[in-house]
Structure formats: C-alpha cells, structure tokens
Structure 1
Amino acid sequence: MNSRYPSWEQAPLHGQKDFFMLLRQRADTFQVATQVQFSNLQDNVPPDSKCLLQFQLPTKDTQNTLGTQPIFNVYQVAREAGVPAMWNTYEPAVIAVKNGTVPVFGQVNGTLEAQQRTWNETAGLVEIGATDCNGTLTWQMGMAYDGGAEVNYWDFLGVDPPLNPVQGLRVITGC
C-alpha cells in the first residue's frame, strides 16, 4: 500500500510482488504499508479459540532495514477475504484524516539491537498479540515514526511465499 498510489488503478512505485515492505519518511509526504490476511481459520479451530499473531524475523541477508527507528505498528482491521490492499483503505491513514486514532494491536522493533536481542532470546520470534479467532483475520502494518532525513524502511529482499528460511507473519491457534 503506497501513499503516492492510493489505488490499483494507478501504477505503483514499488513492485506488487514485494512480500513485505514498510517505509515512512513523514506521515504527510510518503509511506508504504503492508496488509496480511489469514482466511479459513475457523475450519480447524475449536470455538472460543484465540489466534496469536507472530512475526518470525528474517535473517540479516534476507532483509533491508534503514533509518533510526525502523519500528512498525500492527493494526487489526476488518476486511473481507481476498479484498486487495490499497492506500485508500489503509485504516491508520483514513482515520487520521478524520482526526481519530486506530488502536495499535502490537509493535515490532526492527532496529539492529532489538533484532539481535530477539534472536538471542526467542530465536527471532516476536509475539505481536492475540485475538479471538474467526474465519478471516486481517492486519495492516506501517512504520510508527517519521524518518525525516533518514527514511525508516524495512523490507524482505526479493522473496515470494513460500519463504525459505521461514520468515514473516503467521497465526498460531489454540485455547
């Protein structure tokens, strides 16, 4: 989801095959956000189960991070299964225009120090948050802070799912 290209009818600046990319210069100038969606979750899940969103950090050679605060917020949003992600439906931007705020579901710190600590403590696995399971769960992610002169940026380098080694977002279900 690219703030310069709010819908699919416009040519995107970055490729549509990028699995994961987040960028923020300033909130009012330029941002790239990402949406992830998991569907058919209730097919094999007992009623009243919780779904835990996790983020497996990529290895150093399969990612690119820049800026002083490559920290991203995760927002849980309601979307129909299969609906394309576009900037004009990126909830934090839409609601910010109306002077509101979207509750942050979780946050991931991509600074090199935080990533190293996460690798040392939990083998690179970040638990973002838990929610009630339903058929389709959707989250949107965007950089939490302006980058200013140094753009805050994070992406996975040239990968398409399935990823090897395992990296990215996943949902774990249980009671």
Structure 2
Amino acid sequence: MTKLPHRDSDPILRLHAHYFELADLMRGHANAIDREYYRRGRLSKKKNVTYAHYVITWLGFLYVVLEGIAEIQKSGILDNLPESFSSFKTRLSIISRCETDYIDRLRRFRNGTFHYQFTPDKQLQFLENDSETLRISKDLHNNLKDLFSDYRVNCMVVYAIEGRKDEVFW
C-alpha cells in the first residue's frame, strides 16, 4: 500500500506553497493593474513599470513550477501516491506536455529575468507574440491552479481517512 508523505515533507505541496503561490500572487497583482487600466483607460508611468514587474515575476515563477513538476516526475514520487490520486497524475502528465517551444521560450525568459543580462533580448523574444504567449501562460496558470487545488483536497481526504488530523489544513 502506498502512503502519502507527511504534509511538511510533501514535495508537491512544497512546489505549490513556495513557488506556485508566488506566481499566483504576482498574477493577481498584475490583474488588478489590468483592471485599473481598463477602468481608467490609462496608467501612470509608475503603474506601467509596476505592472511589468508583476508580469515578469509571474512568468518567471510559472517556469519554476514547470521545472519542479519535471523534477517530481523524474523522482518517482508520483508512483508512491495512493490510487485515489490517479486523476491528478493524469492531469499533471498532460500539463507537463505543454507546447515544447513555449516551455523553452519561458525557460529563456526566466533565465533572462532571474540572471542579470546586458540586454532584454530573452524577455523580448518570449513576448514577441504577446497576446498568444500571454493566453498560453494564463491557460497554463489556471490549469496549474486547478491541479494544485485538487491535490490539496485529495490530501485532506487522505489525512482525514487515515486519522492524520495534525496535517489537515484549510
């Protein structure tokens, strides 16, 4: 019988809490500025810069989440999840097969963001087809959000069934 790891040592929950939640926070801040732009029809120069910072950070952490998923898949951790997580594993596999070109461009973007660059070439290459790139990024983000939510719910069910009350979280 397989056993779900303790909540505090679960690499999937760690990926969610330490990386996806940061991406989600940055996307939320960017969305708030987006709404302000559509409401007012313009943004101050400072708001435009702040918006860019939020989007850049969101996309950088989005790649880190994909990188974490790849590491988790290679590690064999998924093989040890209980049978009730089969839907999660299937969905994770589908997400990880996201368009290869997009993932590679997102990786270069992340590198250009979190490692000093003399020019913004890596960021600009990623954003060449701005609307399509952002659409794919938003879809990926939404799929990851749903995936992590389902995983957390499944974990709480297992914790409750196994009497692991100290691990139940809200």
Q: TM-score, normalised by structure 2?
A: 0.25
Between structure 1 and structure 2, the one with the greater Rg is 2
The structure richer in strand per residue is 1
The structure richer in helix per residue is 2
Q: TM-score, normalised by structure 1?
A: 0.25
Which structure would you say has the larger RCO, counting Cα contacts within 8 Å and 6 or more residues apart?
1
